[in-house]
Amino acid sequence: MSKLKNTNLIDQAARVLMNGAEDAFFVLDKEGKILFLNKKAEKLTKGSKENVLGNNFENVVTIAEREEVKIKKDYIEPNESLEVSIETLQGTVPAEIVFNPIGTAKDRAGTVLIVKLKPKKSAFLRSVEAAGSAIQRYSNVQKIYETLGEALESLDITLWIFPLEKDFFSVGYHTSDRRKVHITEFVTGMPLSEVRLTFADDAFRKITEQKSFFFFDISSILESATAMFTTSQVRKVFSLLNFARGVVVPLTHGDELIGVTAMLSEELTPEDALPLSTLGVQVSAALERARHFEQMVVDLKALEEQISTRTQELEKVKSQMESIVQSSVDAIMAADLEGAITFINKGVEMMFGYTEAEIIGQPITKYYAKGKKEAKRLRKIIMEKGQIENTELDFLAKGGREVHTLASLSLLKNERGITTGIMAVLKDITEQKKLQQTLESLNKAAFRIQKSRTREEIFAVTAEELKQFDFYVVFVLFDEERTVGRVVYVPEKKVLRILEELGGKSLEDYELPLDNTFYKKLIKKKEAIFVKNLQAAMKQVTPPSMQDTAEKGISLLQFASMKSVLVPLIIHGETKGFLAVISHFITFNDIPPMMAFANQVSTALENARLLEESRNRADELARNLEEQQMLRELNTKLFLAQSREEVLDAAIEGIHRLGKSFSNISIINEKRTHATIFRLEMEPALLRIMDKMTQVFTGRSTLLGYTIPVWEEDNIYHQFFNDQIPLITSTVKVEGYPVMRADLSEVYMGVVPGESVLQQAVKRIFPFPFQSVMVFPIIVGGRTMGTLTVASNDVFSERDFTLMNTMGEMVSSAMERIGQAEKLTETFNELRAVQRINTLLNMGASLEEILTQVCTSIKEVYHYQFAYPLLLDPSLRFLTFDHVFVPDKLANRIRRALGVDIKDFKYPISEDFSLFKTIRAKKCLIWQGFEEMIQEIPVEEISSALKTLSSDLSKALGLKPGENSIMIAPLPYGEDVIGILFLGHRKSLTEEDFQHLEYFLDQVGIAIAKSEVESRLRKSLEELRELDQMKSEFIDIASHELRTPLTTLKLYLEMMALEQYGKLTAPLKERIQVMEEGVTRLEEIINQTLVASRLIKNKLRLNKKPVSLLEIATEVVHQLRPLWNAKNQNIFLESPPHLSDAEGDKKALFTVLSNLVDNAIRYSPEHTEILLTFTERPEEVECMVIDQGCGIPPEHLEKIFDEFYIVPSETEYARMDGRTGLGLFIAKGIIEQHKGRIWVESTVGEGSAFHIVVPKKEKE
């Protein structure tokens, strides 16, 4: 029972597994009848499961292509297979049937057939391709949808079409079960025809970008596009329709999206998206072709309706033909086969001027302009062809006038179809012919005009071309705002000159107001105006101020009785002016050709304007480039200039190269009373005239060197030199820049003194040949020190102003640079002079040599004519002349005048209160000439003697009356004055000159005062050197003498400590240890003293070899370990790998590092860190010893390396004992002998960092 139960369980499990398998399973008995089949197998059979069970496999499964599957009765090998094709509801599918026998060969119970359907891709693709091909055969949208739906139904795919309407999709066509759709609509209350959809953003993006989108549930990607139904309602509808997976592809018209196609099936996979996307493209193409076809059908129907309507209209026309023929403006005539006229309408009478009675019966050749021969040729042609359409024929009207016609000739036939005559319909094209000829001529003229390059050339060519039609032209152009017009061209130049002479101004200066209604048609409507009476029209539009000129112009040009056409000149849709075409023969009919011609003229004018603008821009660009190049060259010259003269030369040359016809540069004097013209450039002829005028009125041979009066407050240049802004004449237009403006006459009058003869002369010859003037300041040191002036025969532009202002700034900058260079040179020379004086002091030169150098320097550096030093005697009451040297001849005359030799003469300043007061105040005295100085000397005897010597002294000193200045300048020393300098200069001296001397005089006073001190110092220095020598010798002797007994003492103490003289008590051992430490310390002091002595005498000998600073530092740290261990300190060494060796004495460098590390240990608190870092440099090795000690105050940093220097007791170092002040001195001496460097950086309370740098070992 249990075994049976298990067998049932296994059977049930097998059934479950087979039902869930992907392949179809058939279980057959040994007769081949079906005992069991799974769900996959059911889909391959033709009936229900109940009908299939018990039937043979061959009867329920259809094998394509007549293949037969016979179940062998005998035993089958396991997994034996057969390749077949099986017909299913979805079409023929390739498959493999695998046979598995049940039982043994002798006792076979049955067979298990496994039908494995092979991938359907190839069949699927063929079906999809076939569907795409099938829909291409139809041109009807509905038929395309139905064909596509049927094709997809064969693949078990449901089709839904969603057309795009504005911003939403609607439901178009589908192949879902109609009954199921109606039930769903009823249940949800939502008709699909009213549903408006959109797709989720991500889905829509993929549909449009990837051209296909595979989905697992279409309801999840749909959204409602209206408020009528919610998204959830929409999704519910499609859920009820059992929509699941599928593919959506876009439908397009060109690049425009017109809808989407959804193809739904449970069998679809993501791989099917690509072939279905291709199908979507085919559907789009078919729909586009269908829509084109439907539009053609609509158009054909409309055309049929039009034809029908036209036929009805022709019937009406036929009945009206008779009346139309008679009332037609065209001429209609008929002639028989002999050529006799048999019929005419009213149009013939009007065209030819003959009555019906005059023309009926006459041969038609009588009126044909080209004669009988041509008429016969035409008759032959019409008889052959039956008609002639739109041929040009010329006829002769009454009075011999020729009429051009456009004729249509046809045969007249009777009811039997026999030709009875010829009918001609003639259209008068005489005016059109004339118009055509006019247009042809105008086109030729327009061609010439288009080739014109300038506006003036266009005007002239237009006038020339229209004159052949007896047309005269006048051009009027509007301003930019179209408020006024100006006549820019009239045909007769002589008349133009006469009108300009009569009116006193150019014709272009007259303005025609455009607010007159007469012009509205021209400007706003852009239409031409026909003027029958030109004279009356001119009175209407001409302002009163132009009436006389207009009437005279019309009279002179003989336009009074003429007519005119005013044609707008339209450029870019705007009326820019008009062309007045004036003639006796012009008519209203001439407006169209004139409009066409005016358009050509407008285009030519615009082209000419653009060409001119292009040329101007090119010229301006070339000019800008040239000017920029000139400015760069000028800037280079100004930069390279070494003097003011070179600057002025470069500036005037640059202005001349820029094409300025007149230019000059003037410089103001020191008193700022006159500005002198230093450079001048103008046309040679004008320059000769100006030089002659200058000679006549000033006596000067040239305008160069002329002085402009700046001191007069009402002079415009007085204000110019104070304001430091450009001065321009009123004609020059400049915006956005501060300027002074003046009339041209005011600028001219400013260059001559007021109320002078020269000013009267300028007034008489004014105006000069210049229209505008610009004056730019040359600013140096914040003050205007000169002018840069340019003048032109034309009015300067703002661009000219900017260019010349830039040049003025460049010249100012160059002059500023030269001034600074001169000041630097003067300062340098001054410093050199001071250095020479100090050198003399250092060399121990005498006071005489120093004073001689002082006087020479003043003359060389400051360009004084003479300089004499007068020193105060010890009583400070007299100025001595001990150091004044004059020629022997003059010295004898002075001796006779003063009664004493000049060397022995003393000037009593106590009697000259003015001089005494000035000297005490350390100020200067200045006189304009020797005579003025003598007059102010209060000591009568001296004053009288100097007056006697005045001529000789002036000659000896090179003084000229009124041209030289004399200065008394004090020689200060601290708070006192030790004498004066007696100075003379060719220029007029001022307080500013004294200020320039003050620094030098301070140095001179110090030098003179120090010269005497120096001699005393030298003597003291010699004494100090002797004492220092004695000290060094004593140290050497004392050190050597002390070392012998000290060594003996140390030896005995060591022996005592070793108890070689008996056993020691503990207290005695402690005392001996103290004594040993004292002896060791004393030995260190003696050794340091000896090393210091050798360093002082430069006798320290070094044994330099390649050594490692890192190894030396390691040894030092190891040796001093007891010290830093005792204070619980840590010492760290930091070094780059492979640190280079230094070139040095290992023992000496050990001493240096030992001193530095020892100091760091001693002067750092307990529990601190000491860092030794090593740095590799290109040619050196650096070591830093960094501690966390008390630091060194800044005021002691520079002294700690001095011999025996100890930081004073008030610092932290006062608490340290046992110092000699030699450790750092020795360290510095050793490092410097290694050609290295040592220095310290320290912060009080934070610590110190000692740096030593020594050279690396020399490369081999």
φ, ψ of residue 341 to 5 degrees: the values are -75, 125
Beta-carbon contacts of 653 under 8 Å, excluding residues fewer than 6 positions away, are 634, 637
Predicted pLDDT of residue 1224: 80
Give the count of beta carbons closer than 10 Å to the beta carbon of residue 1043: 15
For the domain covering 641-816, report its CATH number. 3.30.450.40
Beta-carbon contacts of 848 under 8 Å, excluding residues fewer than 6 positions away, are 883
CATH architecture for the domain at 435-617: 2-Layer Sandwich (3.30)
The per-residue DSSP string of 230-268 comes to -HHHHHHHHHHTT--SEEEEEEEETTEEEEEEEEE-TT-
Q: Domain 16-118 class?
A: alpha beta
Q: Which of 417-426, 437-446, 897-906, 1039-1048 has the highest mean pLDDT?
A: 417-426
Q: How confident is the model at residue 674 (pLDDT cuts 50, 70, 90)?
A: confident
Range 250-271 average pLDDT? 85
Range 357-380 average pLDDT? 86
Query: Is residue 1079 over pLDDT 80?
Result: no
Residues 967/862, Cβ–Cβ less than 8 Å: no
Q: How confident is the model at residue 1211 (pLDDT cuts 50, 70, 90)?
A: very low
Do you know the residue count of the chain? 1260
In Å, how far are 662, 836, 857, 1007 from 843, measured between CA atoms?
Answer: 60, 10, 18, 13
Amino acid, single-letter form, for residue 130: A
User: How much of the chain exceeds pLDDT 90, in percent?
Assistant: 5
Predicted pLDDT of residue 1095: 54
Query: Is residue 1018 over pLDDT 60?
Result: yes
User: 1102-1255 has which fold?
Assistant: Heat Shock Protein 90 (3.30.565)
Amino acid, single-letter form, for residue 1010: K
Among the listed residues 1238, 1224, 1235, the one whose alpha carbon sits nearest the alpha carbon of residue 1258: 1235
In Å, how far are 63, 97, 958, 1117 from 59, measured between CA atoms?
Answer: 10, 16, 151, 109
Domain residue extents for the chain: 16-118, 122-296, 330-428, 435-617, 641-816, 848-989, 1010-1099, 1102-1255
Cα of first residue to Cα of last residue in the chain, in angstroms, is 108
Q: Which residues pair with 1181 in a beta bridge?
A: 1176, 1254
Q: Contacts by 846-852 with C-beta closer than 8 Å and gap 24+?
A: 846/1011, 847/883, 847/1008, 847/1011, 847/1012, 848/883, 850/1007, 850/1008, 850/1011, 851/883, 851/1008
- Of residues 1016 and 387, which shows the higher confidence score? 387
The correct CATH number of 848-989 out of 3.30.450.40, 3.40.50.280, 3.20.19.10, 3.90.730.10 is: 3.30.450.40
Q: How confident is the model at residue 571 (pLDDT cuts 50, 70, 90)?
A: confident
- Of residues 363 and 55, which shows the higher confidence score? 363
Q: Same CATH topology for 435-617 and 641-816?
A: yes
The per-residue DSSP string of 135-146 comes to HTT---HHHHHH
Range 167-177 average pLDDT? 87
Range 196-205 average pLDDT? 85
Packing angle, helices 455-467 and 591-640, rounded to 10:
160
Structure tokens at 1029: 């020598």
Q: How confident is the model at residue 73 (pLDDT cuts 50, 70, 90)?
A: very low
The correct CATH number of 330-428 out of 3.10.20.340, 3.40.50.12780, 3.30.450.20, 3.30.479.30 is: 3.30.450.20
Among the listed residues 287, 279, 43, 8, the one whose alpha carbon sits nearest the alpha carbon of residue 141: 287
Range 749-754 average pLDDT? 72
Distance of CA 294 to the CA centre of its chain: 58
Residue 804, SS3?
Answer: helix
Query: Is residue 1092 over pLDDT 60?
Result: no
Kindly state the DSSP code that residue 899 receives in the 8-state scheme.
S
pLDDT in tens, 796-828: 888 888 888 888 888 888 888 888 887 777 777
Return the minimum-mean-pLDDT range out of 360-364, 691-695, 715-719: 691-695
Host H or E run for residue 341: strand 341-344
Residue 585, SS3?
Answer: coil
Host H or E run for residue 3: helix 2-20
Query: Is residue 835 over pLDDT 80?
Result: no
User: 122-296 has which fold?
Assistant: Beta-Lactamase (3.30.450)
Structure tokens at 1171: 């860092």
Range 1159-1170 average pLDDT? 90
Query: Is residue 576 over pLDDT 90?
Result: no
Q: How far is the C-alpha of 254 from the C-alpha of 267, rounded, in Å?
A: 32
Q: How far is the C-alpha of 225 from the C-alpha of 229, rounded, in Å?
A: 8
Q: Which residues pair with 868 in a beta bridge?
A: 982
Query: Is residue 1253 over pLDDT 90?
Result: yes
Query: Is residue 364 over pLDDT 70?
Result: yes
Q: How far is the C-alpha of 519 from the C-alpha of 529, rounded, in Å?
A: 9
Give the count of beta carbons closer than 10 Å to the beta carbon of residue 1116: 23
pLDDT in tens, 98-112: 888 887 767 777 888
Query: Is residue 1172 over pLDDT 90?
Result: yes
Q: How confident is the model at residue 540 (pLDDT cuts 50, 70, 90)?
A: low
Q: How confident is the model at residue 67 (pLDDT cuts 50, 70, 90)?
A: very low
Q: How confident is the model at residue 1114 (pLDDT cuts 50, 70, 90)?
A: very high
Query: Is residue 1036 over pLDDT 70?
Result: no
Residues 669/681, Cβ–Cβ less than 8 Å: no
Among the listed residues 1110, 1124, 1050, the one whose alpha carbon sits nearest the alpha carbon of residue 1084: 1050
Distance of CA 1059 to the CA centre of its chain: 96
- Of residues 390 and 11, which shows the higher confidence score? 390
Packing angle, helices 1109-1119 and 1146-1162, rounded to 10:
50
Q: What is the side-by-side strand order in the sheet with 402-413? A: 341-344, 331-336, 419-428, 402-413, 387-396
Query: Is residue 762 over pLDDT 70?
Result: no
Range 643-664 average pLDDT? 81
β pairing state of 878-880 and 866-872: antiparallel
**If you average pLDDT over every residue of the chain, what do you get?**
79
Q: How confident is the model at residue 426 (pLDDT cuts 50, 70, 90)?
A: confident
pTM tops 0.75, yes or no: no
Name the CA dihedral angle for 118, 121, 122, 124, rounded to a multiple of 10 degrees.
Answer: 110
Predicted pLDDT of residue 1181: 92
Cis preceding linkage at 767, omega within 30: yes
Give the CA count within 13 Å in the CB-facing half-sphere of 578. 26
Q: How far is the C-alpha of 721 from the C-alpha of 38, rounded, in Å?
A: 117
User: 1010-1099 has which fold?
Assistant: Helix Hairpins (1.10.287)
Return the minimum-mean-pLDDT range out of 144-148, 745-749, 1058-1062: 1058-1062
Q: How confident is the model at residue 710 (pLDDT cuts 50, 70, 90)?
A: confident
